[in-house]
Amino acid sequence: MPGALDGVFILDFTRFQQGPFGTMLLSDLGADVLKIEEREHGDLGRRWATRDAGFSDYFEAYNRNKRSMTLNLRSAEGRRIVEQLVRGADVVAENFRPGVMERLGLGYDHLGAVNPRLVYAAASAFGPEGPLAQRPGFDHIAQAYGGIMVEQGGGPGHEPVALQGGFADQVSAMLFALAICSALYAREQTGVGQKVEVSLLGSQIIFQNRYLLNYLRTGRQPVRNTWRRSPTYTHYRTADGYVAVAAVNPHQWEPFCRGIGLPHLIDDPRFADPFDRQSNAAELTELLERHFLTRPTQAWLEDLIANDVPCGPVHDYAAVAADAQVLANQYIDEIDHPVLGHLRVPGVPIHMSETPPRRPGPAPELGQQTEEVLLRLGYSWDEIERLKADGVV
């Protein structure tokens, strides 16, 4: 069956992670994504985290199911080839430093004139306006600039703590994919293409929507003296590992207490309601830390689940890769890689009844489809050899 984006052709000029992950999500949904790369080395991500047989988990993770074409965008012939491709494209996606595509003669004003139905999607570090609009930036800079490192560390006055590398990239990439799909839908209603823009900074702001909204209303950013946000919405060390609990609703306090075998806490005046529990959080946390150490994780899980308390084990990657729930939903899938053979890979986290997403496939070899694309554009083999000799492809 065709995917939801079957028939959508995307010219992908993106590099590193923010852009490639966004276009990869669209390729999962059926779009034909042609990655345009520099002719010598391609996307710099190909050389990051390189493992055996030249395998880069960084590049493979963000470029599956795409095709690759090499092209010298600084050559007049290379730009003419882009224009030919744009005439049949639905989307151009790029995350160069702002102004790069314009200097190449491939900005929105030019390509939009070539194809008025084109959706031109640009992903930047700081957004299209303001004093930093032309500045470059990467994931760690966005985490720092957007405030999440201070919040993650416990608030003002604490040591800033970064999230997993690529966090800002990944969030921005999902907004990138959403913006592109929204523009494609709008085009179906109006017949007109448009330019859409997202940024690393903007993604960090909206991701912290609730916490920033509270600050903007009160003028105060809370400071936490512990990494725990709540004694009953956290994780605890057990006799053999960790257990996570999320008794966040007030009505879950009683089943939580029964599930951990401490029913006398239900009516304890120190913890009788959510405000009491927050006021006495340090005391309750210390009590629970000692208590959870007395039994193994599985025992706690069984009793908590029996009382319908949201809970779960704290997994490392080995546990994630073997988990029955993960496997049942194909969140971990399997592919045959042309170089490395059989591989287990993260799957597609979207299920659709009528237009199922594409199964994961390998990322393309550098320039793997260059000749195929040129032949479809009408170039002869002699002309293709000339383009190679001239350094165009």
In tens, the pLDDT along 134-171 reads: 888 899 999 999 999 999 888 898 889 898 888 999 99
pLDDT band, residue 351 (cuts 50/70/90): confident
Gap between the Cα atoms of 191 and 185, Å rounded: 10
Would you say 43 and 59 are in contact if contact means Cβ atoms under 8 Å apart?
Answer: yes
**pLDDT at 299 (0 to 100):** 97
Domain ranges for the chain: 9-209+330-389, 233-319
**pLDDT at 66 (0 to 100):** 96
Gap between the Cα atoms of 263 and 367, Å rounded: 65
Gap between the Cα atoms of 390 and 293, Å rounded: 69
Q: How far is CA 200 from CA 45, 50, 60, 262, 343, in A?
A: 18, 25, 22, 46, 31
Question: Strand 9-12 and strand 32-37: pairing?
Answer: parallel
The answer to whether residue 49 scores a pLDDT higher than 70 is no
For residue 282 the two structure tokens come to 């340090």
Q: What percent of the chain has a predicted confidence (pLDDT) above 70?
A: 98
The answer to whether residue 204 scores a pLDDT higher than 90 is yes
Class of domain 233-319: alpha beta
Q: What is the DSSP-derived secondary structure letter of residue 160?
A: P
Gap between the Cα atoms of 343 and 132, Å rounded: 42
Residue with tokens 């591989």: 343
Gap between the Cα atoms of 37 and 364, Å rounded: 11
**pLDDT at 158 (0 to 100):** 86
pLDDT band, residue 205 (cuts 50/70/90): very high
- Select the CATH number that applies to the domain covering 9-209+330-389 from these four: 3.40.50.10540, 3.40.630.30, 3.30.310.50, 3.20.20.140: 3.40.50.10540
**pLDDT at 347 (0 to 100):** 87
pLDDT band, residue 42 (cuts 50/70/90): confident
Average pLDDT, integer, range 269-274: 91
The answer to whether residue 231 scores a pLDDT higher than 70 is yes
pLDDT band, residue 53 (cuts 50/70/90): low
Gap between the Cα atoms of 30 and 174, Å rounded: 16
Average pLDDT, integer, range 9-37: 96
**pLDDT at 51 (0 to 100):** 63
Gap between the Cα atoms of 44 and 123, Å rounded: 17
Average pLDDT, integer, range 356-370: 90
Phi/psi region, residue 324 (left: phi>0; alpha: psi -120 to 50; beta: rest), is alpha
Q: Active site includes 43? A: no
pLDDT band, residue 55 (cuts 50/70/90): confident
The answer to whether residue 255 scores a pLDDT higher than 90 is yes
Range with the largest mean pLDDT of 130-144, 269-283, 290-304, 309-323: 290-304
**pLDDT at 349 (0 to 100):** 85
Secondary structure (DSSP) of 251-296:
GGHHHHHHHTT-GGGTT-TTSSSHHHHHHTHHHHHHHHHHHHTTS-
**pLDDT at 355 (0 to 100):** 85
Choosing from 169, 273, 382, 390, which is the catalytic residue? 169
Average pLDDT, the chain: 92
Average pLDDT, integer, range 366-393: 95
pLDDT band, residue 70 (cuts 50/70/90): very high
Q: What is the DSSP-derived secondary structure letter of residue 329?
A: T
